[in-house]
């Protein structure tokens, strides 16, 4: 069975909290997870695993500081056709750069040949529902699409 590597890009903690909630929910369903809140590209398994990247957008459409070196390393790789992934993007629709970091990392992975298992989930922090509640409601359909269960 595959495992899930939750890769977090979070400046203020929202994306980290969403990833922690998802990790707990996946573990409760018997799916092994590893949470990476300071991700290092070379230390994260790329075989027999699914990457679930949960990132917010910071500043003027930038990546959060904790994921910058990960994205830099990722951009240096030529072929990620062996990698399966999904992206959860958190942002604020009052900004022109809404979810730009999540959109950019999704595009980068796709350009490197990685296999997207489900469409990107975009969370607006201005919605009435808490981002983690929306992500948890989405999780069962994501599990089905990934074939984890």
The per-residue pLDDT for 34 is 97
Average pLDDT over residues 15-44: 96
Q: How far apart are CA 60 and CA 88, in angstroms?
A: 19
Average pLDDT over residues 89-101: 94
The conformation of residue 95, written as its DSSP 8-state character, comes to: S
- Angle subtended at Cα 91 by Cα 6 and Cα 9, rounded to the nearest 5 degrees: 30
The terminus-to-terminus CA distance of the chain in angstroms comes to: 9
Q: How far apart are CA 127 and CA 120, in angstroms?
A: 17
The per-residue pLDDT for 114 is 97
Average pLDDT over residues 35-60: 94
Average pLDDT over residues 22-32: 96
Give 90's pLDDT tier (boundaries 50, 70, 90).
very high
Give 3's pLDDT tier (boundaries 50, 70, 90).
very high
- Beta partners for residue 90, in sequence order: 56, 123
Q: How large a percentage of the chain has pLDDT more than 90?
A: 88
* Number of CB atoms found within 10 A of residue 50's CB: 22
In this prediction the pTM is 0.95
The per-residue pLDDT for 107 is 98
Residues 6+ apart with CB under 8 A from 10: 16, 19, 37, 54, 55, 56, 64, 66
Average pLDDT over residues 48-52: 94
Average pLDDT over residues 84-107: 96
Average pLDDT over residues 31-50: 94
């Amino acid at each position: 069975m595959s495992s899930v590597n939750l890769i977090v890009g979070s400046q203020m903690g929202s994306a980290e909290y969403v990833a922690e909630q998802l990790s707990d929910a996946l573990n409760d369903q018997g799916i092994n997870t590893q949470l990476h809140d300071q991700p290092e590209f070379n230390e994260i398994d790329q075989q027999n695993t699914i990457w679930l990247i949960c990132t917010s957008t910071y500043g003027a459409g930038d990546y959060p500081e904790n994921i910058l070196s990960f994205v830099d390393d990722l951009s240096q790789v030529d072929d990620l056709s062996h990698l399966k992934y999904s992206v959860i993007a958190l942002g604020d629709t009052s900004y022109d750069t809404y979810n730009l970091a999540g959109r950019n990392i999704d595009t980068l992975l796709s350009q490197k040949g990685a296999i997207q298992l489900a469409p990107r989930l975009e969370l607006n922090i201005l919605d009435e529902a808490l981002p983690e509640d929306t992500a948890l409601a989405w999780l069962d359909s994501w599990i089905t699409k990934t074939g984890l269960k």
